[in-house]
Amino acid sequence: MLKCLTAGLLALMLTSLVLFYAWTRIRADSEAAEAPRMVIIEGPTKHAVTPIMTEVSRTMVERQAPAFESTDFDGRRYILGNLDRKGPVVLIFVKEGCPCSDAAQPLFNQVHAAYPGATFLGVINSDAKTARRWADKHRVRYPLLLDPDHRIIRDYNIENSAYVVLIAPEGRIRKHWPGYSSAMLQELGRDLATLVGTAELPLDVADAPEILYSGCPFEFESLDDRNGESGLPDHRLKKAGPSTR
């Protein structure tokens, strides 16, 4: 009888241990399921405009716009000297694969639609096939000029995508923005209204950044060539020569 009692107690203790273990596992799993998880959502990379970028853009204002001749992805040729005689020209610089260019394009499309009296041109560092695909994806309704060798980009001292240059009808650079923001887009609209002689139109800039942001840096083979005091690449500091008409 003593043996039976001992065996019963051992069985009861073993059952209790098994039940306690099962209860602790269920509780641990329940707490883990209820614990909040950190979810990180990453948006397009933003590149804040630096004081040096702002200064280089400032030095470009009132210079004669560098002449260029380029083609779009359909093979149509565009010459600056023929375009700026018709009215103001807006150059919007695009880097293929840059999420900042993707985010900014709907805003530039809106400004283009508001001021049909101005000539808008995108400048992209890609071949025709890539440029066409990018224009179709973002519903770009103005020409996208091919600049795979960065010639136009260099001549206009462009460092990142999402730079914007406004050229007045007389061929001089009126504004050179190292990025875009809500205030910059409204300023562009005011300038275009003045230059084309129309009323300023309201723009929906709710999706634009509040401070000036540029896009992804363009890659140049000569970025190691530095100007001693400023630390800027030499091609950023060169003076734009007179436009060949």
Q: What is the pLDDT of residues 78-126, one digit of tens each?
A: 999 888 778 999 999 999 889 999 999 999 999 999 999 999 999 999 9
Token duo for residue 52: 């040096």
Across the range 47-64, mean pLDDT stands at 95
9 occurs within a structural domain? no
How many separate domains does the chain show?
1
Answer whether residue 140 is part of any domain: yes
Q: What is the pLDDT of residue 83?
A: 80
Quick check: is 47 in a domain?
A: no
Q: Which domain holds residue 91?
A: 65-237
pTM assigned to the model:
0.74
Q: Is residue 217 domain-resident?
A: yes
DSSP-H helix ranges across the chain: 2-34, 51-60, 80-83, 99-114, 128-138, 151-155, 182-196, 234-237
Q: What is the structure's pLDDT at 240? A: 41
Give a yes or no: residue 243 inside a domain: no
In a domain, 101, yes or no: yes
Does a structural domain hold residue 74? yes
Q: What pLDDT does 22 receive?
A: 52
Q: So what's the pLDDT on residue 102?
A: 94
Q: What is the pLDDT of residue 16?
A: 58
Average confidence (pLDDT) over 46-61:
93
Q: Is residue 157 domain-resident?
A: yes
Average pLDDT, the chain: 80
pLDDT at 15 (0 to 100): 56
Q: Which residues contact 197 (CB under 8 A, 6 or more apart)?
A: 117
Kindly compute the dihedral angle of the four CA atoms of residues 56, 62, 68, 74, in this order, to the nearest 10 degrees: 90
Give the pairing of strands 89-94 and 164-167. Answer: antiparallel
Task: Supply the CATH number for residue 209's domain.
Answer: 3.40.30.10
Residue the block writes with tokens 């800039």: 205
Tens-place pLDDT, residues 1-18: 544 545 555 555 555 554
